[in-house]
Structure 1
């Protein structure tokens, strides 16, 4: 096991220090620099920032969606060996949906997408209707009022409610038992059925009447066109499957790395240092093999490294830790940052400046270690503070949507 995968705790480099895992990859040709930064979520020391815009992120998500649907349609039309194209088709479609939900919808809820209320609200409502997720106005209110406030990671926070009610995880549980519950819901038909119903109800219960009518008419018209053209199989396989089963599994894993639970010794429960301690970056990848290894061992190590980067870490980044979720700690420090669209470099720049006014940044390398860290924080949390009976008002219709920020 590589040394970056061995730890199960959050690590912190000194203020402004480069990360040794990311720096180890600089032995590769420069052509790999930008792709590795996107994959890992961490720029290397001295890397020139790449600036993005909110509009570019939106366009990229829409292009990814079209590409995914085209690949899936091609696979179904051609059949035979080309059915293998369903895999990248599903992946591209899911990646688009996750970026729309996790990044675009999220920034619109903060009215920080373009910092213009009308277009931010319009895009947010369109995404809610297209993905059939919690009504945009309701999400904005709950997210800003309960998640980005003094109630962050308390029993009023929908994220905490999702852990205690939906996943039925409790303080004092062993890490292994928690993992079994997490994996169990991912393959549970009952869980996915409830999740889907909750998504529909959370939209239709709170969406403005005009949007409910418009959304219903749009879906009825779409269903009629699909029926006339006899396209139900392609629609169900290419769109409905990734938007339900795959989307919801991704939600579960994303929930499990969002925020750690406060510990009994963490008092008082306020201040920048306290709130910063509940969120860490999750970088994706592992240390590159040492050039000092003997030739045979070096070749084997590089073969293993490339295999894990392509078939373990890339799917993690592309399907679960999409967009700016790898540096979610930056968002919780600066929720209204104008630099959010260039999130990787914005966070790295703040880190290199020593995070002025805040405690140092913390990070975990790898999805599994990141989940372990959150589960361990719940295991050692105060069982009285996080007892299910302490939940005052649980919005069951929108609870499943609490899986994301």
Structure 2
């Protein structure tokens, strides 16, 4: 169902782009399908794969993770293990050492701000070129610079095949609306909303001793 949503949404987008422009507003619904499939691939399939509980075989799970992460050009297996397993699932969870917290701080979500300010900042961030630039830069770096050599080769071959096909047979407009917009910009929007709502970030453990003293 995940791949059906991802690829089906893209296919519907291609059909809409090939139709008269009066139908183009329907792209919004196709994008919802595509982004749903992409985020579910990362948050469910890749997440379970990195914990080695997707198929029960660690090598198969790793292969699935690397295939999907290459297809979507998101963080590779080894980088995700470091950020998610060793840091996010360790004592660093929801602290300044948590990679997810670092992302939110870089995006300007600062502790101590009131709720109204944070909502305004969220609206601005979702459409901020800087925000999308940071996300895109991190994705490209993970695929072409910091990933293991075999994974960098996978990404280069994949991107070469995509752009080679577009150069040979065209279809740039369809690719832009069916893939680039939902898998880049809208994917980033969904990721930010997920980051913000996943945990109580920087929420310290209650000081029970102080609470008892206050009650005296």
TM value normalised by structure 2: 0.89
Paired positions, count: 208
Instruction: Give 1:396's aligned residue.
Output: none
Separation (CA, whole Å) in 2 of partners of 1:258 and 1:67: 27
Secondary structure of the structure 2 residue equivalent to 1:78: coil
| Residues 225 and 133 (structure 1), Cα distance of their counterparts in 2 relative to 1, 3 Å cut | same
1:181 aligned residue (112, 115, 121): 121
Offset of residue 126 of structure 1: 1.1
Match of 1:334 in 2: none
Structure 1 residues 157 and 81 mapped into 2: Cα distance closer, same or farther (>3 Å)? same
User: Residue 153 of structure 1 is aligned with which of 81, 85, 94?
Assistant: 94
Task: Write the distance in 2 (CA, Å) between the matches of 1:93 and 1:114.
Answer: 24
Give the match's secondary structure for 1:114: coil
1:259 Cα deviation from its structure 2 partner: 0.6
CA contact (8 A) 1:135 1:204 kept: no
Aligned to 1:210: 150
More helix by share: 2
| Mapped contact 1:71–1:85 kept (Cα < 8 A) | no
- CA deviation profile, 1:299-319 (whole Å, cap 9, x unmatched): xxxxxxxxxxxxxxxxxxxxx
Q: Which of 122, 137, 151 is the matching residue for 2:78?
A: 137
Q: TM-score, normalised by structure 1?
A: 0.49
Deviation at 1:266, TM superposition (A): 4.2
Where does structure 2 lack aligned partners over 5 or more consecutive residues?
A: 210-216
Q: CA deviation at 1:66?
A: 2.1
Cα offsets for 1:350-393 (capped at 9, x unmatched): xxxxxxxxxxxxxxxxxxxxxxxxxxxxxxxxxxxxxxxxxxxx
Cα distance change of structure 1 residues 189 and 170 upon mapping to structure 2, 3 Å threshold: closer
Correspondence for 1:235 among 169, 175, 178: 175
Q: In angstroms, what is the RMSD of aligned CA positions?
A: 1.7
SS at match of 1:171: coil
The ranges of structure 1 where at least 4 consecutive aligned residues each deviate by more than 6 angstroms after the TM superposition are none
| Kept in 1: contact 2:45–2:54 (CA 8 A) | yes
Is 1:252 aligned to 2:192, yes or no? yes
For residues 104-143 of structure 1, the aligned pairs below 5 Å read 104-143=45-84
Unaligned runs of 5+ in 1: 1-59, 269-405
Offset at 1:81? 3.1
Q: Which has the higher contact order (CA 8 A, sep 6+)?
A: 1
C-alpha deviation, 1:267, in angstroms:
5.9
